[in-house]
Amino acid sequence: MSEQAIPAELQEIRKQIDEIDDRLLRLLAERFQLTHAVGVIKANQNLNSFDSSREAEKITRLRELCSSLDIDPNLVEELFTRIMQEVVKNHDRLRQARN
């Protein structure tokens, strides 16, 4: 496709996808800012970084939401599990810095 002229319609759709990707990253950054605040509270209160019941509830809720959005729930679970693992790592770092 790179050697051929790209149809205007395809270019427009790709532009929209790029804009959505940018928004997704900004939202992810915002989410990490909030989870950082959670990590500070947990470190100050000496709470566990990992909350298995909270994670299970979140995954269940997200999987249920997937059905109404026509998104593969396994994909969403995989993505959010990875995001939450990163959050736990960040919380552990905050706790170690406090000690």
**The domain defined by 8-98 carries CATH number 1.10.3720.10:** no
Give, in order, the Cα–Cα distances in Å from 69 to each of 24, 34, 66, 76.
16, 25, 5, 11
pLDDT of amino acid 28: 98
Single out the residue of 24, 43, 76 nearest to residue 35, CA to CA: 43
Q: How far apart are CA 63 and CA 81, in angstroms?
A: 12
Q: Smallest Cα–Cα separation from 40: which of 97, 94, 96, 78? A: 94
- The C-alpha atoms of residue 55 and residue 41 are separated, in whole angstroms, by 18
Contact 47, 57 (CB under 8 A): no
Q: What is the pLDDT of residue 2?
A: 58
* pTM across the whole model: 0.87
pLDDT in tens, the chain (99 residues): 556 899 999 999 999 999 999 999 999 999 999 999 999 999 999 999 999 999 999 999 999 999 999 999 999 999 999 999 999 999 999 999 987
**Alpha carbon distance 68, 44 (integer Å):** 39
